[in-house]
Amino acid sequence: MGDFPKRARTLLVLKYLQENTDEYHPKQMGDIIDHLRKCGIEAERKAIYRDFELLRDIGFDVIRTTDSVPAYFLGERPLEMAEAQVCASAVSAARFMTEKKSRELIHKLGDLFGQAQSASFKSRSELARTQKTRNEEIYYNIDRIVNAQTLGKKITFLYFEYLPDKTQRLKRDGRRYSASPYSLMWFEDAYYLICNIDKYQNLSHFRVDRMTRVEVSGEDQRPIEEVSEYKNYFDYDDYHRSVFGMFGGDPHNVRIRFSSELATAVFDRFGLDVPVSDIKDGCFTVSVNVRVSPGFISWLTIFGDKAEVLAPKSLRNEIKRMIGALNRVYKD
């Protein structure tokens, strides 16, 4: 284990408690003394008691059990076990992260706890059942995007799509995109960059796991108010409620009549603050600002005759055209 100077004793005690103890696996004083001896440090109990007090004084939760033979463990951690397990589940489910990067991050979460509890993080099996991206650049992409946001700079990048034979093809014939990055959004198992492309006057979305060779530009990004209704900052919650399937579209106020049995689905999508009216005859009406797009229309049509657009008329007509097109495809 190596010989450490005596002045390292307190740090070694802390490291031992972090890596080897928890509420269900406390260690007795003899275990701690033996560990220090393996590190080349002879220590008496009184000295270790002083180490415990010092660690408590600077905020570490060193707890003594009430057993007949006292034992010690590190209580409060940077994350509670339940919090870390939720984070690990999210990382496991995230399809935009490679399996390798997912395992590395889950192992780091486990390292916040003692060996007994960290083992549950390192043996998670659901990663093998999740479809993961193969783009190993994902961390570098995110890092450079966040760096550009912090500096207020644009980014440039290449963007690829898949062909039927599963090969990749760069879009725009391999020419780089230049964009002002405003936010990153996790949406339906994919991670998106919300940005403005130089030649357009609106917001665009790009999947981060399909971006490659991201670079921070020396050019200042455009103010978000020049290309959207937002002023000075990107309103994540408002935007998330208004987009469907990450399709872009112009914002419109839409009135929709729903069957009452869809109330839970509607409130799950738009939130409980959405204005509701005309609650009668087994139906209710909502007025909501959305970005009208193929994604929004597809979402509406899954409810069949239990959802009816009342306004605007242009959206009613668009849905009629789509239904007519479907009828022609399936007429036989």
Domain ranges of the chain: 6-74, 81-129, 138-234, 251-329
Residue 219's Cα: distance from chain center in Å? Answer: 28
pLDDT value of residue 46: 94
pLDDT value of residue 123: 66
pTM above 0.85, yes or no: no
- Fold classification of 6-74 is Arc Repressor Mutant, subunit A (1.10.10)
pLDDT value of residue 1: 60
pLDDT value of residue 103: 84
The tens-digit pLDDT sequence of the chain (332 residues) is 667 888 999 999 999 999 888 888 899 999 999 999 999 999 999 999 999 999 999 999 999 998 888 999 998 888 888 788 888 878 877 777 888 888 888 888 888 887 777 777 766 655 555 567 777 788 888 899 999 999 999 999 999 988 877 788 999 999 999 999 998 988 777 788 999 999 888 888 898 988 999 999 999 999 999 988 888 778 877 777 777 656 667 778 899 999 999 998 888 788 888 899 999 999 999 998 888 888 888 888 889 999 999 999 999 998 888 888 888 998 87
pLDDT value of residue 66: 87
Residue 307 — φ and ψ, nearest 5°?
Answer: -140, 130
Architecture of domain 251-329: 2-Layer Sandwich (3.30)
Residue 113: CA atoms inside 13 Å, Cβ hemisphere, count?
Answer: 23
Asked whether the domain spanning 251-329 has the same topology as the one spanning 6-74, the reply is: no
